[in-house]
Amino acid sequence: MGLLITGGLYMAAGSVNEAKAATGYSASDIDEGNKLFIANCATCHGLNAEGSADGPSLIGVGAASVDFQVGTGRMPMQMQGPQAKAKPVQFDDDQISQLSAYVASLGAGPAIPSEEMLDTSDGDTAAGGTVFRVNCAMCHNAAAAGGALTRGKFAPALAGSSSKHIYEAMVTGPQNMPVFNDSNVTPDEKRDVIKFLNEIDAQGSPGGAKLGSLGPVAEGLFIWTAGLGIIIAFTIWLTSRPS
């Protein structure tokens, strides 16, 4: 009996330490996250996060995916639609961490970025702009103002996005976004992109009205419409003058 009890306690302690070492979270965090998951997420994602007709499997998506989706209010979804939209966050930071811990325990995936990974003090804004225009501008617009996609989907505007959520989006590929792992966009390039986005977000629009940041198309349409309106108004004024 002594050997059985000792062996059982050893195995239990070993499994707890192994889970904590593999995910960086404690067993209590994983357990609390499981309870939150069953109460709020299992309807669509399945009781074991295996997925269903209403939601994809979460096995192997990693803690970063949960932190992004739940931390931006996209999950839980308010209603089924072409894609999840950002809305007020439904959980506090501790609950988001616990949900992340549970999903991370299901399979290896991208982890939540550390403060060191988000440090842009040595970043290159110009290089970040180049990386962004090559990889992201075709959907998010060169000024990160967002844009329309197909079948009711869209690339959101990135103004006001936190550095952590930008990094998480790059490594997890939420919604229609592709995954930019470290082999195609290095960690240094990710930090450069974040610094570029923070810079244009803080800069605003020093040149005047942005007109949707659509470039020559919107500007030309505005000039054409306003100019034509002025010409028509001037013509009416001329013809209405008494002889």
Q: Are residues 199 and 223 in the same domain?
A: no
pLDDT at 208 over 90: no
Q: Is residue 28 part of a domain?
A: yes
- For residue 82, what is the DSSP state? S
Q: Are residues 102 and 164 in the same domain?
A: no
Q: Is residue 235 part of a domain?
A: yes
Q: What is the CATH number of the domain that holds 52?
A: 1.10.760
Average pLDDT value for residue range 117-145: 93
Give the bridge partners for 148, in sequence order.
154
- Picking from 71, 106, 141, the residue at the C-terminal end of a domain is 106
Residue 126 makes CB contacts below 8 A (sequence gap 6+) with 196
Q: What is the CATH number of the domain that holds 142?
A: 1.10.760.10
Q: Is residue 182 part of a domain?
A: yes
Q: Are residues 67 and 91 in the same domain?
A: yes
Phi, psi of 148 (to 5 degrees): -80, 145
pLDDT tens digits, one per residue of 39-77: 999 999 999 999 999 999 999 999 999 999 999 999 999
Collapsed DSSP state (helix, strand, coil) of residue 40 = helix
Burial, 117: exposed, middle or buried (Cβ in 10 Å; 0-12, 13-18, 19+)? middle
pTM strictly above 0.85: no
Q: Is residue 239 part of a domain?
A: yes
With beta carbons less than 8 A apart as the criterion, state whether 128 and 180 touch. Answer: no
Count structural domains, the chain. 3
- Structural domain for 129, as ranges: 125-204
Q: Are residues 171 and 222 in the same domain?
A: no
Measured CA to CA in angstroms, residue 102 lies from 158, 196, 207, 219 at distances of 28, 33, 47, 49
Q: Are residues 23 and 97 in the same domain?
A: yes
Query: What is the predicted pLDDT for the residue at 96?
Result: 96
Q: Is residue 96 part of a domain?
A: yes
Phi, psi of 133 (to 5 degrees): -65, -35
Collapsed DSSP state (helix, strand, coil) of residue 147 = strand
Q: Which residue has the higher pLDDT, 186 or 12?
A: 186
Q: Are residues 100 and 190 in the same domain?
A: no
pLDDT tens digits, one per residue of 176-192: 999 999 999 999 999 99
With beta carbons less than 8 A apart as the criterion, state whether 128 and 195 touch. Answer: yes
Query: What is the predicted pLDDT for the residue at 143?
Result: 86
Q: Is residue 209 part of a domain?
A: no
pLDDT tens digits, one per residue of 69-97: 999 999 999 888 889 999 999 999 999 99
Collapsed DSSP state (helix, strand, coil) of residue 99 = helix
Q: Is residue 51 part of a domain?
A: yes
Ramachandran sector of residue 173 (left: φ over 0; alpha: ψ -120 to 50; beta: rest)? left
| Distance separating alpha carbons of residues 160 and 86, to the nearest angstrom | 12
Q: Is residue 158 part of a domain?
A: yes
Q: Are residues 200 and 229 in the same domain?
A: no
pLDDT band of 209, cuts 50, 70, 90: low
pLDDT band of 5, cuts 50, 70, 90: confident
